[in-house]
Amino acid sequence: MPSDPAQARAPGHGRAARILPLLLVSAAAALPARAQAPAASGATTATAEPASAASAAGARRNWFDDPFVQATHGLPGCPVPEPPLLTEAEMQHETHWRAERGTSCYRSGRCRLPNAYLYDKEIVPRVAKAIAAAGTYEDTSVWIEGQRRWVWLKGCVSTKQQALDLEQMVRLIDDVEAVIPQLIVGTTMKSGTPTYRLAEPASR
C-alpha cells in the first residue's frame, strides 16, 4: 500500500516517475553534440564551441563529390582553377535545385539513369582518356569538371584552334549534354575578367 494518499489515487504514478527521466536522457542523447549544453564546463569551452562551429560552417568542400581532374600538364604557370567547392550553406541551397535538375532529364526521357549526376563519374574519365588518346594536346594544361552531363574545360591551351578542337571532340563523347569551354590561350588571364575562378593558394 502506498504511504501517500495522492499517489494511491493516481494509478501508474510511480511507473511514470521512473520512465520520465529515461525518456529525457534518450532525447538528449539524440541531439547533435553541438546542441547539448556542456556540463560543468568553464568559460573557455563555452565560447570556443560557437567559434569552432562558425568556422566549420564556413569551410568549403566538394560536398557532392563532383569529378574534377587535370587531364594535361604541358603549360607550367597556367592559372589553377578552383575545384567545385561549397560552404555548408551553399550546399544546402544547391541540394534543392540539384534534385529538380538531376531528375528532369530522366522524366523527359532524355536519360537512361534516374539522375543526370550519376553520369559524371563515367563521363569525366572518358573525356580525359579521349584527350590523351588524341596526342595533340601535350602543350596544354587542361582541367575537366563534370556536373549533370555538362563538362567544363578549364585551363590553358597554346592556340585558339586547340580550344575549338577540344570543345568539338568532347561534344561527341557519349552522354555529354553540353560543353562549357573556359580556356585561355597562353598562361595569362585577362585582368579584371577572369575566365574561371582560381584556386586559393595553399596555406603554409
Hey, what's the cell of 36?
Answer: 547539448
What are the tens digits of pLDDT across the range 93-104? Answer: 999 999 999 999
Bridge partners, 61 (sequence order) = 86
Work out the average pLDDT over 58-65: 94
Q: With 80 as the cut, is the pLDDT of residue 91 above it? A: yes
Q: What is d(CA 137, CA 98) in angstroms, rounded to the nearest whole number?
A: 33
Full set of structural domains in the chain with CATH: 68-85+117-185 (3.30.1340.30)
Q: What is d(CA 18, CA 24) in angstroms, rounded to the nearest whole number?
A: 11
Number of Cβ within a 10 Å radius of residue 170:
22
More confident residue, 78 or 50: 78
pTM of the model: 0.72
Task: State what percent of residues in the chain have pLDDT above 70.
Answer: 71
**pLDDT attached to residue 148:** 96
Q: With 50 as the cut, is the pLDDT of residue 30 above it? A: no
More confident residue, 203 or 80: 80
**pLDDT attached to residue 55:** 55
